[in-house]
Amino acid sequence: MKQALYFTSLVDDIVQCNLCPHHCTIRPNDTGLRRVRKNIDGILYSLVYGHPIAQSIDPVEKKPLFHFYPGSRTFSIATVGCNLKCKHCQNADISQLHEEPNFSTEISPDDIIRSALEQKAESISYTYTEPTIFYEYAFDIAQLAHSKGLKNIFVTNGYIETEAFQQIAPFIDAANIDLKAMSDEFYKRICGARLQPVLDAIKAYVENDIWVDITTLIIHGYNDDEKGLSDIAGFIYDINPDIPWHVTGFSPTYQLTEAPPTSVSMIEKAVIIGKDAGLSYVYPGNRGFGEHTICPVCGKELIRRDGFQVSTNKTLNNSCPDCKARISGIGLDWI
């Protein structure tokens, strides 16, 4: 347990959490909306500090990040909890808590860094659940990681307040941010959140020079209309057409079991919509095709991926070796 950052004291020991746009008001001895922050005698505490429920090595492609040190190893951690309640959550068993969590052992930020270095990771990923929910833990780990030469990656829903984001931003090197739909109604009904803070967060990440990939999970009948997808692509284009957009396929899960699995043709249509909007890199996700990086100028295949593995990387000095076009990304040919 660690005292939380970002809360204000109200009357009668009631506090307001200011970490994310929910701004939960929490009474003494109660927890916030997502049960991982507790008010004890007028002080807010993070209950998940030091208590990861997942630690594993992944290829960075699994986040997915396709233009950030391709083929590198990232030490991935998560705690329980999330500040959204998506009906289609793929990790609901660890993200959606119905009661206050209990932990026995504690793993310090030093322990995390030691494990990452032992396993020859190039970065730490805060992933699987929402890093904002374990902000204090992530913040301490991220600072240590930088001091040891490790990069930091947030895999996030983008639901964080500006002040909290600005404090941790200097320590984040890359992020994959979900843009679930260009619809406030979708965010409210399906995720229990709002759209605008996510759009603001995406812009803030880019303005802070953090490398960003964006992911949209396409669900038939919910967010697969052409206009909605075009609006997402247009939003990304207006920020930077070189931001990679991953359009991934849904499988029925958790509380959203009536929608069918996303068809390959729907994913292909989304890729065309992204390219027609002018995006340089649109990747069809988790359907086993088309996840290679192609030079947007001459069409040469530059990075070939088989699943999450990079099998060929022909980029040279972050450029196409044939036409010399600059390929956006960080450390593309780091090996």
Report the interface residues with ligand SF4, using CB under 6 A. 17, 19-20, 22-24, 32-34, 37, 83
DSSP assignment of 147-209, as one string?
HTT-EEEEEE-----HHHHHHHGGG--EEEEE---S-HHHIIIIISS-SHHHHHHHHHHHHTT
Closest to ligand SF4 by CB, 9 vs 309, is 9
Closest to ligand SF4 by CB, 34 vs 246, is 34
* Cα R_g (the chain), whole angstroms: 20
Q: How far is the CB of 21 from ligand SF4 (least distance, A)?
A: 7
Q: How far is the CB of 159 from ligand SF4 (least distance, A)?
A: 8
Q: How far is the CB of 297 from ligand SF4 (least distance, A)?
A: 43
Q: How far is the CB of 181 from ligand SF4 (least distance, A)?
A: 20
Closest to ligand SF4 by CB, 132 vs 248, is 132
Closest to ligand SF4 by CB, 34 vs 67, is 34
Q: How far is the CB of 89 from ligand SF4 (least distance, A)?
A: 15
Closest to ligand SF4 by CB, 17 vs 266, is 17
CA-to-CA distance for 3 and 189, rounded, in angstroms? 32
CA-to-CA distance for 232 and 221, rounded, in angstroms? 16
How do 43-46 and 37-40 pair as beta strands?
antiparallel
Q: Angle 66-280-75 (CA atoms, 0-180°, nearest 5)?
A: 10
